[in-house]
Amino acid sequence: MGSIDANTAALPAFNAGVDGSFQPLNPDDVRAYLHKAVDFITDYYANVESMPVLPDVKPGYLQEELTASPPVHSAPFDVTMKELRASVVPGMTHWASPNFFAFFPSTNSAAAIAGELIASALNTVGFTWQAAPAATEMEVLALDWLAQLLRLPSTFMNRTSAGRGTGGGVILGTTSEAMLVTLVAARDAALRRSGSVGVSGITRLAVYAADQTHSTFFKACRLAGFDPANIRSIPTGPDTDYGLDPTKLLETMQADADAGLVPTYVCATVGTTSSNAVDPVGAVADVAAMFSAWVHVDAAYAGSACICPEFRHHIDGVERVDSISMSPHKWLLTCLDCTCLWVRNAHRLSDSLETNPEYLKNDATDSGEVTDLKDMQVGVGRRFRGLKLWMVMRTYGTAKLQEHIRSDVAMAKAFEGLVRADDRFEVVVPRNFALVCFRIRASGAMTEQVADEVNRLLMERLNKSGKAYLAHTVVGNRFVLRFAVGSSLQEERHVRSAWELIMKTTDEIIIVCVE
C-alpha cells in the first residue's frame, strides 16, 4: 500500500504561509496533527489487548509495503496516519499489551506521555545550565525527589538543606550509559591512584561482576578500554540464590591484587535480568573498600520497588557505594528513555567527562553554583529528560506509585502460587519482586535435557499463539521460562488467562510427547 495516487498527492498537505511558503509549525497544523495523534494513542491503548502480542511479519516487510524510496511530494497527514495504522502497527511487538510477560516491563502512563509530548514540543537542548535553565533545574529536582523516595543518603543529592551537595544525578538513556560513564570515572581514578602515566597502566586494571550481571556491563567495560582478560565474571549458584558471594569476590580481588593488578570497579545488581537475583550491596561495598575500588549498583528494574518500605532493604549499604542507577522506564510508569544515575561525588564523574570549549563558557558555569549535565554523560547535547519523570511523580504522588508496585508484586505472587500448586511445574528460583522463573519439571522418564526441549516448545507455542509473550533464560544450566508481571494495562485476569493458556498448551505438549 505504499504509493499515493496523483489525486491524493494534489491535496493540500499542510497550511502554507500568506506567501505560500512552507510552515512546519503552522499553528493550525500543530493542533490538527496532535489531536489526530492523541486519538491514535487513545485508540491504541483501548485496543492493544486484542492484538497479537508478537507480529507475524518477515524482515523487510515494511519497505515492501511503504516503498523503499522517500516521497518527493507532500501528502495529507491523514495519509500518513492511515499508513501508520495499516502497516506499522501490525508489525509491532506490543510491549504495552497486558499479555506481554517477557523481559521486564516497559511501563507508561498518561502523565509520562504528556510529559514526553511537551518535552518534544519545547525541544530544548540542555547541555549547559544557561542553555536550558528550567530543563536543568527540573532534572535536578526530579532526581532529588526520586532520591528521597528511595531514601538515598544526602551525599547523593544535587541539593540538600545546606545548599548544593557534593553528589548529584543525571538522567541518561539506558543502564548501559550509566555503567559506561561510571566505569570511565573509576578507570581514571584507578590510573591516578596507581601512579600511571596517562593510560599506560590501563592493562593492569580489573573489574568485577557476578555471572548474572547484565551483558551490557561487559560491553561497557570494553568500550571504556578495559582489557577483556581482566573482566571478572564471578560464578553464582543456588546457595546464594544466584546473588554475588562476597567471599568469592574478596578471593578474586585479592588474587588480582597479589598478581599486580589494580581492582578498579565492582558492579552489584539489585534484580538481575535472568532471575531477579539481588547482590548484597553492603557486603560488596565492604569488600571493594579494601581495594579502594568503585562500587556501582545496577538497580535498573528492581530499584523502582525500593520506593516501598518493604523492599528498601535490598539497597541497604548504599551509603557506602559510589554510584547507583535505576530506570523508571521499566517499572515506574515513565516511558523510555529514563535511566537515573546518582553519584556520591559528582566531581569524580565530571572530571572525566567534562568538555569546556570557548563557545560554551558562561558566568553561570563559572560560578560553580550550577550543574552542567553535559559533563555527566557521554555526549554534549541532551533533551528535556526530567519533565516526564517530574510529571509522573507530581501527578500520581508517592502513594499511587507504591500502589502500582505492590499490585504487580501481588499478581506475580498469585501466579507463583498457581505454578507451585501444579506438580508438573517447578519454580526454579525464589520469586523476587514481580518475576517468576518456572519450568515444566523433569520427572519420570523425562530427563533434564528432554525437559529443556519441552520447555522451549512450550514457550514457542505460547508466543506463536499471539495471546501471550514470554521470554526465557538459562539458570543452573536449565532452560527456564520467565514470567514478568508489570505491563501498565495488566490486571489479575490477564495473569490468570496466561496461566490457563500455559496449562492448556502443556497438556497438548505432554500428550504429543507420550504418543
Q: Is 44 a catalytic residue?
A: no
**Contact by Cβ (8 Å): 384, 119:** yes
Chain-centroid distance of CA 247 in Å reads 29
- How many CB atoms sit inside 10 A of residue 215's CB? 9
CA 443 distance to own-chain centroid: 37
Region of residue 292 (left: phi > 0; alpha: psi -120 to 50; beta: else): left
String of DSSP letters for 367-382: HT-S--GGGGSSSS--
Question: What is the distance between the alpha carbons of residues 289 and 281, in angstroms, rounded to a whole number?
Answer: 12
Nearest to 191 by CA among 178, 181, 200, 182: 200
- Whether 283 and 247 have beta carbons less than 8 Å apart is answered as no
Q: What is the CA radius of gyration of the chain?
A: 25
Burial 338-362 (b: 16+ CB within 10 A, else e): bbbbbbbbbebbbebbeeeeeeeee
Residues 6+ apart with CB under 8 A from 135: 122, 124, 126, 384, 386, 387
C-beta neighbour count of 301 within 10 angstroms: 28
Helix (H, G, I), strand (E, B) or coil at 168: strand
Distance of alpha carbon 249 from the chain centroid = 26
Query: Residue 416: helix, strand or coil by DSSP?
Result: helix
Region for 60 from its dihedrals, namely left if φ exceeds 0, alpha if ψ lies in -120 to 50, beta otherwise = left
Distance CA 452, CA 375 (A): 48
DSSP count for the chain of H helices, then E strands: 16, 13
Cis upstream peptide for 337 (omega within 30°): yes
How many residues would you count in the chain?
Answer: 515
Separation CA 341–CA 140 (nearest Å): 11
Which residues does 367 contact at the CB level (< 8 Å), separation at least 6?
none
Given 208, 301, 359, 396, the catalytic residue: 359
Hey, which residues are catalytic here? 359
